Amino acid sequence: MSAKIKQFIPEEYCLQCKGCCRFAQEDSVWLPCLLDEEKLELIDKEGIPPVSITADSRVHPVPNPKSEGFICPLLNIEDNKCKIYLSRPFECQLYPFLLNLRDKKVILTIDLNCPYAREKANSKEFKEYTEYLTTFLNEPAQIKILKANPQILQAYEEVSDIVELNF
């Protein structure tokens, strides 16, 4: 699997807004998409039933027992924490940054609906992190993983472009 990504959002801040891991629709483009090897890890190591992963490699959401819509089955709704936070999927580690496929180009984008990302978007910390992330994602090993897992590249709407990757 790809190396762990240095995190932009501090763990103690992550999920406080109660926006992540929640989806208005069962087939939302925002559902985490898994790398092939992550599917096996979730099934084998985390005990996630295979039916919790859709045919297009997404985590299948479950109805939200506390409100409308759906939640990730890995979210513990009682304490608002990911059950596998330290070993969560690549795309979850990457968020609020996203790999956006547009006109056969792979663009690193950011979801400014994330309050932390929106607050830090013009900071030195943000600039340094995006440089780190761009370098990381342009490494041959990461490009190889992404090319082997085209399902991870999505067409997200309402995101802000950062940089085109060498894909």
Is pLDDT above 90 for 143? yes
Give the number of C-alpha atoms closer than 13 A to the C-alpha of residue 82, restricted to the C-beta side: 20
Please answer whether residues 75 and 19 qualify as being in contact, where contact means their C-beta atoms are separated by less than 8 angstroms.
no
3-state secondary structure of 4: coil
- The torsion angles phi and psi of 98, rounded to 5 degrees, stand at -140, 150
pLDDT of residue 97: 95
Is 60 exceeded by the pLDDT of residue 1? no
Contacts (Cβ under 8 Å, ≥6 apart) of 67: none
pLDDT (average), residues 71-78: 89
pLDDT of residue 44: 78
> Around 60, how many Cα atoms within 13 Å sit in the side-chain half-sphere?
11
141/27 Cα distance (integer angstroms): 30
Q: Reply yes or no on whether the pLDDT at 16 is more than 80.
A: no
pLDDT higher than threshold 90 for residue 12: no
Does the pLDDT value for residue 115 go beyond 50? yes
Q: Read off φ and ψ for residue 131, nearest 5 degrees.
A: -65, -45
pLDDT given for residue 47 in this prediction: 74
The structure's pTM equals 0.89
pLDDT digits (tens, 9 = 90+) for 43-74: 777 777 777 888 888 888 999 988 889 999 88
> Which residues are within 8 A (CB) of 2 and not within 5 positions of it... i.e. 6 or more apart?
35, 90, 141, 142, 145
pLDDT at 2 over 60: no
Look at residue 59 and give its three-state secondary structure: strand
